[in-house]
Amino acid sequence: MTQLSIKNEMRAIDTKNRTWYDSLDDDDKTKYNKALWTQQRYVSSIKHDITDFEEHYLEWTNELVNVHYNTLRHHPQLQFQLMQVVGLGKSMFHQWIAPPKGVQQNKLTKIFSENFPHMNDDELAIFISGHTKEELEDTLADFGLDKKEIKKILK
């Protein structure tokens, strides 16, 4: 059994340990899979004397791992493998960078994201903007929301 800790997880990513994810038991995989977004935040940020390394981790995490996150979040092992592509083969110090305050997903977007998991953020935005308020109300009612909730969401 592999113990979950940010240090072990980052070492497995940095050193490209291909067997680490498979060595997790089902409970650990479930816990790890729930923390993938946090994992990506850590992967993208390293502290190193060589600024090219820092830029590499940030750029490649954005290019390989963050792209299409809404689709890939349903494939945690693939996400882990993509994060390993970013690794340079040597353990690095990954520092936590908190997300900006006040960044929250719009309630309407969140509801549609949950009901249409195959759509990415851009597709959801296009879908929502392409419908009238009445059509969105009907769709939200189809999702099982009552009129009071719908009114609160669409205000």
Q: Point out the least confidently predicted range of 21-30, 75-84, 93-102, 107-116.
A: 93-102
Is the pLDDT at 142 greater than 80? The verdict is yes
Rounded CA-CA distance 88/56 in Å is 9
Q: What pLDDT score does 99 carry?
A: 65
Structure confidence by residue, pLDDT tens digits, 93-106? 998 887 654 334 58
Average pLDDT over residues 116-136: 81
Average pLDDT over residues 101-129: 75
Q: What pLDDT score does 103 carry?
A: 38
Structure confidence by residue, pLDDT tens digits, 58-68? 999 989 988 88
Closest CA to 5 of 20, 16, 19, 18: 20
Average pLDDT over residues 101-118: 73
Tokens found for residue 105: 């997903």
> Cβ–Cβ contacts within 10 Å for residue 87, how many?
21
For residue 94, list its beta bridge partners.
46
Label each residue of the chain as H, E or C: CCCCCHHHHHHHHHCCCCCHHHHCCHHHHHHHHHCHHHHHHHHCCEECCCHHHHHHHHHHHHHHHHCCHHHHCCCHHHHHHHHHHHCCCCCCEECCCCCCCCCCCCHHHHHHHHHCCCCCHHHHHHHHHCCCHHHHHHHHHHCCCCHHHHHHHHC
Is the pLDDT at 48 greater than 70? The verdict is yes
Is the pLDDT at 41 greater than 60? The verdict is yes
Do the beta carbons of residue 10 and residue 42 sit within 8 Å?
yes
